[in-house]
C-alpha cells in the first residue's frame, strides 16, 4: 500500500468502483432527500425557477429530489463517470430531461463548462452528503469553494454538509490520539491534513475530512462565502431510520456568495 497521501484521482477511482456505484445508486432510487435537506432547500430556495448548480451529484439522489420538489432549472456535475451515468439514466427514467449533467472536477470547474449558465451566474449551489469533505487536501477544498463562488451570482445561497470533529464526543479519545501523532510528526503519511480519515465500508474505500467548525468558517471566508446559518442535522429534523442508517449526524451550512475579491 502506498505511503503517499491520497489524491483526487484515487478518490475518483473509489467512487467509480462497483460497491460505491451500487451504494449511491440504491440511495438515489430508494432513499431520496432527507427531511433536513428538504427543509433547508425549501426555506432558502423558495423560487422554483432558481437556476441551481449541484456539485458532486453522484447517482442523482439530490438531483431527483429537487426535481420532485418542482425545481426545473437544474445543472449537476460529478467527476465520477460511473455515478454520472447512473444519474443521467435515472433522470431519463423519471422524465427529467431538462436537467443538465456534466463531467467535471469541483476543484477546477470553469464557467465555460455550462453553456446554459445564466448571465451573472447560478442563483444557488448545493454540495450535499459531505461531498466537499471528500476532496483530499484543504487547499483543494478551498479551490472547490472558489470555483462555486465563480459560478454563482452575488447573494446566491450555498448549502452543504460536513461532519464536525467537535460534535463527535464518542470519538474524542481518537482525535486526542491523532492530535498527538500530528504534533509529533508520526501521523499516517497517507493523510494530508489533521481531520482526514480513511476507512472501508459497504460503499468501498472512503476518504473524508472531518473538520472543526472553525476550520470550515475560515475556508468559507477565504473563498468569499458568508456563513448565514449552521446546525447539526439532529437539531433540524427527525430523520427516518433509513437516513440514519445511510449517514451519521452531520452539520448543515447555509452561506451566501459574497462580492468578488478586490
At 35-88, the pLDDT tens digits run 999 999 999 999 999 999 999 999 999 999 999 999 999 999 999 999 999 999
Query: What is the chain's mean pLDDT, rounded?
Result: 95
Helix (H) or strand (E) holding 32: none
pTM for the model: 0.96
Question: Cα separations (Å) of 16 from 29, 78, 102, 105?
Answer: 18, 11, 16, 14
Q: Which CATH superfamily does the domain covering 8-257 fall into?
A: Vaccinia Virus protein VP39 (3.40.50.150)
Within 135-223, residue ranges assigned H as helices are 138-151, 172-184, 213-222
User: Is residue 10 exposed (0-12), middle (13-18) or buried (19+ Cβ within 10 Å)?
Assistant: middle
pLDDT at 2 over 60: no
Amino acid at each position: 500500500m502506498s505511503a503517499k497521501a491520497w489524491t483526487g484521482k484515487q478518490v475518483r477511482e473509489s467512487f467509480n468502483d462497483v460497491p460505491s456505484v451500487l451504494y449511491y445508486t440504491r440511495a438515489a432510487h430508494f432513499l431520496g432527500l432527507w427531511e433536513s435537506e428538504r427543509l433547508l432547500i425549501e426555506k432558502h430556495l423558495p423560487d422554483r425557477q432558481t437556476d441551481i448548480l449541484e456539485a458532486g451529484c453522484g447517482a442523482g439522489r439530490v438531483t431527483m429530489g429537487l426535481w420532485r420538489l418542482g425545481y426545473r432549472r437544474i445543472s449537476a456535475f460529478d467527476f465520477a463517470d460511473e455515478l454520472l451515468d447512473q444519474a443521467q439514466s435515472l433522470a431519463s427514467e423519471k422524465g427529467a430531461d431538462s436537467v443538465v449533467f456534466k463531467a467535471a472536477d469541483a476543484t477546477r470547474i470553469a464557467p465555460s463548462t455550462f453553456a446554459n449558465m445564466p448571465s451573472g451566474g447560478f442563483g444557488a449551489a448545493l454540495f450535499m452528503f459531505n461531498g466537499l469533505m471528500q476532496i483530499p487536501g484543504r487547499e483543494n477544498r478551498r479551490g472547490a469553494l472558489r470555483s462555486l463562488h465563480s459560478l454563482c451570482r452575488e447573494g446566491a445561497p450555498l448549502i452543504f454538509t460536513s461532519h464536525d470533529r467537535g460534535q463527535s464526543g464518542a470519538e474524542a479519545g481518537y482525535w486526542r490520539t491523532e492530535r498527538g501523532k500530528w504534533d509529533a510528526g508520526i501521523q499516517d503519511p497517507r493523510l494530508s491534513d489533521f481531520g482526514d480519515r480513511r476507512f472501508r465500508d459497504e460503499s468501498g474505500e472512503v476518504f473524508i475530512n472531518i473538520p472543526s467548525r472553525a476550520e470550515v468558517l475560515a475556508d468559507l471566508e477565504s473563498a468569499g462565502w458568508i456563513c448565514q446559518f449552521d446546525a447539526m442535522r439532529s437539531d433540524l429534523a427527525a430523520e427516518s431510520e433509513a437516513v440514519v442508517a445511510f449517514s451519521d449526524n452531520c452539520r448543515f451550512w447555509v452561506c451566501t456568495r459574497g462580492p468578488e475579491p478586490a
